[in-house]
């Protein structure tokens, strides 16, 4: 499988990375280089193999239902590029 | 370099205990070394005031007899660990100016045990790279130089850490290892680097690259120093769901150097083409050293080794593409808003300006392999091959106690040499990645110099949770190798 | 099955409806962080660094959310999956701080089940549940506070939701409405969701398509976040009509996300959401599979209360309460709880079996108490009359202390003062008089004062009997036992 220019544009948009037109072809070539190389995985027979879920045996621990966090508005907003009245401001979205 | 900065951590600890010197003197010696080594660009942020404050506290503790395991030891912290009140950028433009309001579990544990922080150490952007050249904070220079005087890369992604330890700027450093990022730079700079079992070290507060692979670990002068540092770093953390709820063994106590009755596995699939002869020779020498220490050398097979790297280059970018989605210019970090741009324009401009080429490439690959229609062929297949790789190791550890391989397929290479060819850069980690995929503990020990006088390391891989056995094998190898070379100071 | 049809120009159309209900799980803290979940806090205060997706922050699951999801699944007769997994659903939006929602895509915690619904005036229907999964809520974007910016509040970010996905089994707005009501009732019985639709604790994504009866499924649209039963019904009716008009005028229905506008009672396409969705689901590597055993499921089952359907059948069969009354009494858990308290107290006070006082208790709750509460706009939990007080009132009627009429007066005073009925009767001397001597004396006076009417009565004007009853009751200030009055009057007049 290899990607074409349209696919590269589509992927860039899905990933929310602006890709100037002159970068599309180079990016396409770089991606195809990598994809060609990972292609060899197809030759491995994985018919009866489960995908890895936990690499080291471990079980999911559950928290108690207690309020132990929050109430740190200052910390939450400390690095905000555009804090406004306790909110994060972003360019206006029209629904 | 002064005598004080040249001491290993164990000797610093002894000297401080005996009051041969004060923590303040130790901190000041290191601060001078840091200031004198800016050419190497190992640091993204210097924090001498933090080192001095920790030293003051340490001196009080020594006076009061309440010293802690790392009291007065000045460390460098890879800039992937969030440090409260100190800029943490992961060497990315997108996080430039980000000041965490929290301390990563790993750095918090080290500081709680009395260590000081000399500063934050450079890395490949978001730990994606093997040469520290993808950093937005400039290249870090390996203190070891090529015979022709050209500057070399320090490995990566923990290249700031490897350089700072090798150049005696810090007593030890934290690293993170996703697919070799502790071990390969350690090998490139003639130091020791240790990646523990996945889950030993908490990932809380460490900027994520690929969650199922990321592990923190120590980088230091020698095996004992790594054991001392890991003792503080490791341990259960309820804030990380993948953290292992197990007691932490006494790593230093495991260092006997006695390998009698132990079997060292040599995986035949690691004998790949195009490996320099001096590395093959070093690997053979390593076998002899371990045999001399009492071990039996056994041939083993890890049949899926050749698939490890492509597997890694699907899984790691897939996880990264999702982990890095949070860098969107809304809550922290840099924001770019084109004139009259809407929310989507802001995202695209922010992420385009904020991420470097390698990060973009990996986000693109990761997005592609997870996208509709490709998931099964790439991501799912990779996770299945990962299971096979893990099984290979499980099988192998029925036949041996520890595995010996080269750490990297070459010595440190000149800056810019591999930047145009991602796949050849990826091959740097060909020996490191299998253990990462299997979550196993692994370390790099400096064993010798190549024909050009550059350090080479060997990798030891341990069974899951057997850090003690691994440390001891590393200790035996280190004693047998007697590696004592240091880069000549030219900076 | 409903026979609801849209009459189009080309004939009848059938509506196919599926609902995805997002129900906020009743937990104190969020699904993956320790921040609080209370409604209406200052912006970005109930936010931890995890909810704000700061670099390096990690999720740790709240066990109570798991427990409530399992209890809900058991209550809805669903398959419980002892091995489930969290996946990341990747997309960019300002109120989605991680750039992904942690949800359960491939392996939900709860699988198939079903729920019985009885739409008013319609046939009962069994609606299939496809699955229930746990997931995080997003934050909130406010678009109307600033001309330049949208404002993001992350207080809801990370709140635990159960997404309850129905099969496309509903065929009319009424059926869908009944489904939401029934589901809400069960969730409230279970205690896994407060069902508060005004505060967004329950929201419905409404999937609607139309087809010729029995034909192939049409293209569906999805109306997001509809927040009342009435709006769910209105959105379906509007959307079905719209789709029929589109199709009959030769157009095609776009598979799209739409918005229900309650001000205009119409749906329209959502402009802001991105074009083609590709969520790139994959297992969240920050979490491990969610695993529990049969014993855990049993433990959850044991903590379930009697559920509305079972309770209703018991009322009908054991208490001989009418099906309608039984349905009213069991629709809300609070009503049933009040009723059962009243019933137990009543049986105890009167020394009778519950079944012998059931009807009277049911009637009192439904006609007297609900009538009074409704006119004051109060819910049963706000009733000024406790179940114990109600039982006392019923006992006073049963033992003849109060006549039905007096009981109504006492009830009115109880509503106003909140006093016990016994106290009211005592203090105000409202006891019914059954003492024959005292009543006979009053009757004698009444007959003496109305000698002419006595003659007329005796002369055959039977209708005057009521007049004598009224006069006697008036003379006893309404406290005479009407039955006794009747009997004695008869004796006195007819001789
Ligand atoms: Mg949905
Ligand atoms: Zn949902």
User: How many structural domains comprise chain A?
Assistant: 1
The residue assigned the tokens 């330049």 is C148
Rounded to a whole number of angstroms, the distance from the CA of B400 to the nearest CA of chain A is 19
What distance in Å separates the CA atoms of residue B160 and residue B355, rounded to the nearest whole number?
20
- CA B436/CA B432 separation, integer angstroms: 7
CA of C20 to the centre of ligand 1 (A): 6
Q: How far apart are CA B320 and CA B364, in angstroms?
A: 10
Verify that C147 and C195 share a domain, yes or no. yes
Provide CATH code, domain B2-236+247-258+440-481. 3.90.1300.10
Residues 6+ apart with CB under 8 A from B265: B298, B299, B300, B396, B397, B399, B400, B401, B402, B403, B404
Residue B1 has pLDDT above 50, yes or no: no
| Residue A88, domain member (yes or no) | no
Q: Which of C281, C297, C278, C283 is nearest to C59 (CA)?
A: C283
Same domain, C124 and C212: yes
pLDDT band (50, 70, 90) for residue C40: confident
Spatial contact of B454 and B161, defined as CB atoms under 8 Å apart: no
Does the pLDDT of residue C1 top 60, yes or no? no
Closest Cβ–Cβ partner in C94, C145, C288 for A59:
C288
- Examine residue C176 and state whether it is found in any structural domain, yes or no: yes
Q: Pick the last residue of a domain from C300, C321, C353.
A: C300
Structure tokens at B271: 């004998």
Asked, for residue C1, whether it belongs to a domain, the answer is: no
Cα C48 to ligand 2 centre (Å): 22
Distance C204 CA to ligand 2 centre (A): 10
Task: Please answer yes or no on whether A52 and B386 come within 8 Å at the CB atom.
Answer: yes
Tell which of C300, C322, C354 closes a domain. C300
pLDDT tens profile B274-324: 899 999 999 999 999 999 999 999 999 999 999 999 999 999 999 999 999
Give, as one character, the DSSP assignment of residue B378. Answer: I
Task: Enumerate the domain spans of chain B.
Answer: 2-236+247-258+440-481
Closest CA to B195 of B209, B173, B176: B176
8 A C-beta contact, residue C322 and residue A91:
no
Is the residue at A24 inside a domain? Answer: yes
User: Relative to the alpha carbon of C101, which ligand is closest?
Assistant: 2
* Pairing mode of beta strands C11-24, C290-291: unpaired
Residues C99, C184, single domain; the answer is: yes
* Residue A93 pLDDT grade (very low, low, confident, very high; cuts 50, 70, 90): confident
A73 assigned to some structural domain: no
Q: What is the pLDDT of residues C173-223, one digit of tens each?
A: 999 999 999 999 999 999 999 999 989 999 999 999 999 998 999 999 999
In a domain, A30, yes or no: yes
Mean pLDDT of C334-353: 95
DSSP A12: H
**Which residues of B are designated catalytic?**
78, 157, 181
Chain C residue with Cα closest to A59: C288
User: What's chain B's average pLDDT?
Assistant: 97
**Around ion ligand 2, which residues have CB less than 5 A away?**
C 163
Residue B157, preceding bond cis, omega within 30 degrees? Answer: yes
Contact C55 B321 (CB under 8 A): no
Q: Taking Cα atoms as reference points, which of B54, B249, B18 lies closest to residue B170?
A: B54
The answer to whether residues A92 and C148 touch, using CB atoms and an 8 Å cutoff, is yes
Cβ atoms of B126 and B115 within 8 Å: the answer is no
Q: Where are the beta strands (DSSP E) in B395-449?
A: 402-406, 442-449
The rounded percent of chain C whose pLDDT value lies above 90 is: 80
The verdict on a CB contact (< 8 Å) between C33 and A59 is no
**Domain membership of residue C470 as a residue range:** 436-494
C275 burial level (CB within 10 Å; 0-12, 13-18, 19+): exposed
Query: Subunits with at least 3 CB pairs below 8 A relative to chain C?
Result: A, B
Domain range enclosing A12: 5-42
Asked if C66 lies within 8 A of A62 by C-beta distance, the reply is yes
Residues B81-113 pLDDT 10s: 999 999 999 999 999 999 999 999 999 999 999
Q: What is the pLDDT of residues C234-255, one digit of tens each?
A: 999 999 999 999 999 999 999 9
Same structural domain for residues C107 and C29?
A: yes
The residue out of C266, C300, C334 marking a domain boundary is: C300
B371: pLDDT strictly greater than 80: yes
Asked whether residue C403 carries a pLDDT value surpassing 90, the answer given is: no
Residue B486 has a CB neighbour count (10 Å cut-off) of 16
If you compute the radius of gyration of chain B from its CA atoms, what whole number of angstroms results? 21
| Cis ω for the linkage preceding C303 (within 30 of 0) | no
What is the least distance, in Å, from the CA of C90 to any CA of chain A? Answer: 9
Is the separation of the CB atoms in C169 and C128 below 8 Å?
yes
pLDDT in tens, B419-454: 888 888 999 999 999 999 999 999 999 999 999 999
Closest Cα to residue C83, out of C58, C59, C106?
C106
C151 in a domain, yes or no? yes
Q: Is residue C460 part of a domain?
A: yes
The alpha-helical segments, DSSP class H, found in C111-206 are 173-190
The answer to whether residues C310 and C418 belong to one domain is yes
Report in angstroms the alpha-carbon separations of C104 from B53, C82, C110: 47, 14, 10
Strand order in the sheet with C87-90: C100-103, C87-90, C282-283
Asked if A7 lies within 8 A of B388 by C-beta distance, the reply is no
The model's confidence at residue C431, banded by pLDDT at 50, 70 and 90, is confident
Give dist(CA A36, CA C203) in Å, integer.
46
* Same-domain check for residues C88 and C232: yes
Angle at B443 between CA B438 and CA B446, to 5 degrees: 150
- The CATH number for C443's domain is 1.10.10.410
Structure tokens at B54: 């920790």
Beta-carbon-side half-sphere exposure of residue B278 (alpha carbons within 13 Å): 14
Distance from CA of B324 to the nearest CA of C (A): 8
In this structure, is residue A38 part of a structural domain? yes
A72 touches chain B (CB under 8 A): yes
- Phi (first) and psi of residue C125, to 5 degrees: -145, 150
Strand partners, B442: B195, B461
Q: Is residue A91 part of a domain?
A: no
Structure tokens at C210: 């139309």
Assigned domain for A66 exists: no
Cα B169 from chain centroid (whole Å)? 17
Question: How many domains, chain C?
Answer: 3
Does A95 have pLDDT greater than 70? no
Which two tokens mark C362? 């049911």
Give the span between the Cα atoms of B375 and B378, in whole angstroms. 5
> Minimal Cα–Cα distance from B98 to chain C, Å?
10
Q: Which helix (H) or strand (E) holds C19?
A: strand C11-24
- Read off the pTM: 0.93
Name the token pair of C54: 């700061």
In a domain, C341, yes or no: yes
Looking at residue B52, what is its pLDDT?
A: 98
Distances (CA, A) of B23 to B60, B72, B83, C242, C303: 10, 5, 22, 78, 60
User: Are B237 and B243 in contact, with CB atoms under 8 Å apart?
Assistant: yes
Q: Kindly provide the ipTM of the predicted complex, given to two decimals.
A: 0.97
Find the residue in B nearest to A81 (Cα). B332
- Residue in chain B closest to C151 (alpha carbons) equals B330
Instruction: Tally Cβ neighbours within 10 Å of residue C404.
Output: 9
Please check whether residue A27 lies inside any domain of the structure: yes
């Amino acid at each position: 499988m290899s990607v074409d220019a349209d696919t590269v544009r589509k992927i860039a948009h899905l990933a929310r990375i602006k890709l100037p037109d002159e970068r599309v072809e180079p990016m396409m070539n770089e991606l195809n280089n990598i994809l060609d190389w990972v292609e060899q995985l197809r030759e491995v027979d994985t018919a009866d193999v489960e995908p890895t879920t936990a690499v080291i045996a471990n079980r999911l621990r559950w928290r108690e239902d207690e309020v132990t966090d929050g109430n740190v508005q200052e910390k939450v907003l400390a690095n905000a590029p555009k804090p406004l009245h306790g909110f994060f401001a972003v360019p206006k979205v029209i629904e | 370099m002064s005598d004080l900065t040249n001491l290993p951590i164990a000797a610093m600890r002894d000297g401080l205990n005996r009051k041969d010197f004060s923590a303040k003197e130790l901190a000041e010696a290191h601060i001078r070394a840091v200031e004198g080594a800016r050419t190497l660009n190992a640091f993204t942020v210097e924090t001498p005031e933090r080192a001095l404050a920790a030293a003051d506290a340490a001196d009080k503790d020594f006076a009061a007899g309440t010293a802690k395991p790392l009291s007065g030891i000045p460390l460098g912290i890879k800039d992937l660990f969030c440090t409260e009140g100190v800029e943490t950028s992961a060497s990315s433009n997108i996080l430039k100016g980000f000041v965490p309001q929290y301390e990563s579990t790993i750095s918090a544990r080290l500081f709680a045990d009395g260590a000081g922080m000399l500063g934050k150490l450079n890395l490949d952007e978001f730990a994606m790279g093997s040469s520290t050249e993808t950093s937005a904070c400039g290249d870090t220079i390996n203190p070891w130089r090529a015979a022709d005087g050209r500057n070399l890369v320090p490995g990566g992604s923990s290249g700031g850490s490897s350089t700072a330890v090798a150049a005696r700027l810090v007593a030890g450093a934290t690293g993170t290892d996703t697919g070799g990022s502790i071990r390969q730079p350690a090998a490139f700079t003639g130091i020791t680097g240790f990646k523990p079992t996945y889950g030993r070290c908490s990932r809380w507060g460490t900027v994520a690259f690929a969650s199922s692979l990321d592990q923190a670990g120590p980088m230091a002068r020698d095996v004992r120093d790594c054991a001392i540092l890991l003792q503080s770093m490791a341990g259960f953390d309820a804030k990380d769901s993948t953290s292992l709820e197990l007691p932490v063994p006494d790593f230093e106590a495991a260092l006997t150097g006695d390998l009698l009755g132990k079997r060292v596995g040599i995986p035949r699939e690691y004998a790949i083409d195009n490996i320099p002869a001096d590395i093959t020779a070093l690997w053979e020498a390593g076998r002899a050293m371990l045999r001399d220490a009492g071990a039996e050398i056994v041939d083993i097979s890890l049949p899926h080794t050749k698939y490890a790297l492509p597997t890694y280059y699907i899984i790691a970018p897939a996880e990264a593409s999702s982990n890095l989605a949070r860098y969107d210019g809304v809550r922290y970090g840099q924001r770019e808003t084109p004139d009259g741009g809407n929310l989507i324009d802001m995202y695209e401009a922010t992420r385009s300006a904020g991420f470097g080429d390698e990060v973009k490439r990996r986000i693109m690959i990761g997005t592609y392999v997870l996208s509709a229609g490709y998931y099964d062929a790439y991501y799912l297949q990779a996770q299945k091959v990962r299971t096979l790789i893990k099984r290979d190791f499980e099988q192998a550890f029925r036949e041996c106690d520890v595995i010996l391989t080269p750490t990297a397929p070459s010595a440190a290479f000149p800056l810019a040499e591999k930047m145009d060819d991602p796949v050849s850069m990826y091959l740097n980690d060909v020996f490191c990645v299998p253990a990462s995929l299997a979550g196993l503990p692994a370390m790099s020990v400096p064993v010798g110099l190549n024909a050009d006088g550059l350090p080479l390391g060997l990798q030891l891989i341990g069974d899951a949770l057997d850090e003690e056995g691994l440390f001891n094998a590393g200790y035996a190898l280190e004693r047998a190798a007697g590696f004592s070379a240091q880069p000549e100071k030219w900076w | 099955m409903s026979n609801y049809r849209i009459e189009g120009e080309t004939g009848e159309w059938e509506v196919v409806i599926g609902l995805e209900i997002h129900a906020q799980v009743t937990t104190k803290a969020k699904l993956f962080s320790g921040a609080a979940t209370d409604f209406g806090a200052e912006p970005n205060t109930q936010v931890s660094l995890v909810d704000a997706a700061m670099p390096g922050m990690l999720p740790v699951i709240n066990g109570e959310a798991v427990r409530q999801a399992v209890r809900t699944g058991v209550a809805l007769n669903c398959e419980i999956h002892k091995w489930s997994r969290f996946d990341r659903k990747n997309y960019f939006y300002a109120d989605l701080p991680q750039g992904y929602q942690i949800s359960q895509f491939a392996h939900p915690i709860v699988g198939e089940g079903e729920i019985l619904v009885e739409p008013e005036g319609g046939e009962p229907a069994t609606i299939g549940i496809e699955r229930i999964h746990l997931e995080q809520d997003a934050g909130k974007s406010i678009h109307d506070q600033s001309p330049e910016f949208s404002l993001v509040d992350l207080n809801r970010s990370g709140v635990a939701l159960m997404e309850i996905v129905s099969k496309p089994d509903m065929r009319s707005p009424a059926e869908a409405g009944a489904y939401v009501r029934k589901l809400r009732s069960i969730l409230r019985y279970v205690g896994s969701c407060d069902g508060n639709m005004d505060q967004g604790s329950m929201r419905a994504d409404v999937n609607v398509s139309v087809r010729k009866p029995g034909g192939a499924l049409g293209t569906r649209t999805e109306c997001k976040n509809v927040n009342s039963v009435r709006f769910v019904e209105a959105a379906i009716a509007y959307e079905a009509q719209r789709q029929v008009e589109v199709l009959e005028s030769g157009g095609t229905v776009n598979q799209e996300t739409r918005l229900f506008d309650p001000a205009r009672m119409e749906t329209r396409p959502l402009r802001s959401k991105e074009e083609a969705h590709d969520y790139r689901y994959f297992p969240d590597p920050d979490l491990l599979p969610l695993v529990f055993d049969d014993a855990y499921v049993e433990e959850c089952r044991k903590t379930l209360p009697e559920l509305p359907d079972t309770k209703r059948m018991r009322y009908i069969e054991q208490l001989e309460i009418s099906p309608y009354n039984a349905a009213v009494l069991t629709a809300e858990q609070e009503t049933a709880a009040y009723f059962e308290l009243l019933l137990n107290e009543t049986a105890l006070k009167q020394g009778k079996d519950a079944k012998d006082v059931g009807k009277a208790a049911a009637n009192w709750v439904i006609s007297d108490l609900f009538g009074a509460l409704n006119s004051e706009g109060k819910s049963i939990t706000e009733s000024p009359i406790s179940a114990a007080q109600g039982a006392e009132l019923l006992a006073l009627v049963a033992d003849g202390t109060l006549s039905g009429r007096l009981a109504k007066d006492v009830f009115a005073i109880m509503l106003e003062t909140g006093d016990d009925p016994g106290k009211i009767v005592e203090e105000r001397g409202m006891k019914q008089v059954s003492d024959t001597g005292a009543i006979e004396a009053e009757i004698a006076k009444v007959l003496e004062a109305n000698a002419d009417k006595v003659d007329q009565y005796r002369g055959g004007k039977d209708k005057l009997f009521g007049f004598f009853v009224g006069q006697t009751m008036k003379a006893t200030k309404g406290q005479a036992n009407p039955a006794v009055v009747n009997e004695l009057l008869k004796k006195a007049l007819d001789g």
